[in-house]
Chains A and B, each alone.
Chain A
Amino acid sequence: DAGVIQSPRHEVTEMGQEVTLRCKPISGHNSLFWYRQTMMRGLELLIYFNNNVPIDDSGMPEDRFSAKMPNASFSTLKIQPSEPRDSAVYFCASSFSDRATGELFFGEGSRLTVL
């Protein structure tokens, strides 16, 4: 079975440019999460969706960040305009929202470098 698929794996861009990160969750999962990982702050939740509806976006840093989930099999995280402090690894994860295991399955992450 395919796991969570993220693209791109690496992105290098210049300050001010728009960045779009993409995620395909595991088929059948109805919860999707975007996390950001940095050395200073560790793993932080940015936003999560249940059944394509945003449930908690309190971790989204500011208006430059936006996330969408137009259907059950696709989500995007967009940063516009990007800044050097946005450099991080961005993880997408998915899970069932109502099953007993509780486990989140992670993609391989997208490493973003903003120059």
Chain B
Amino acid sequence: AQTVTQSQPEMSVQEAETVTLSCTYDTSESNYYLFWYKQPPSRQMILVIRQEAYKQQNATENRFSVNFQKAAKSFSLKISDSQLGDTAMYFCAFRTYGGSQGNLIFGKGTKLSVKP
């Protein structure tokens, strides 16, 4: 069975600084996606960044980037120049692909607070 582990229940960072959120996963599949979703207090689930497992290049989206280590099954999220609006729960998630895709499996989340 696939599992996703986020070992940091809470983190805080000063505005404009950089923070890294950790995620590890376990799977025997070779084709899959990894995601980071953000859930602000409004509770809307918002996709932050996506990584396809077959791509060696780490994904980036503006201030957000990932460090994808496939052999180590690690998928961390780096947020640069943190902003107050980044305060939210962040969920790491895994999904197999190919054929009929399965469901999205989430970690327990990391609560990030950005302080002024």
Contacts and interface: CB of A to CB of B under 8 A. Distances in A.
Interface size class of A (residues with CB under 8 A): 20 to 34
- Decide if the interface of chain A is mainly helix, strand, loop or mixed: strand
Nearest to A9: B43
- Decide if the interface of chain B is mainly helix, strand, loop or mixed: loop
A5 interface: no
Interface residues of B, number: 23
Contacts of B97: 100, 102
Contact of B103 (A42, A45, A103): A45
Contacts of A98: 99-101
A75 interface: no
Contacts of A55: 100
Interface string B29-69: 00001010000001111010010100000000000000000
A52 interface: no
Contacts of B95: 102, 104
A108 interface: yes
Given A101-B50, A103-B35, A109-B43, A43 B101 contact: no
A43 B108 CA distance: 7
B100 A104 contact: no
Ranked nearest first, the 3 interchain pairs of A and B with the lowest CB-CB distance are A106-B45, A102-B33, A43-B106
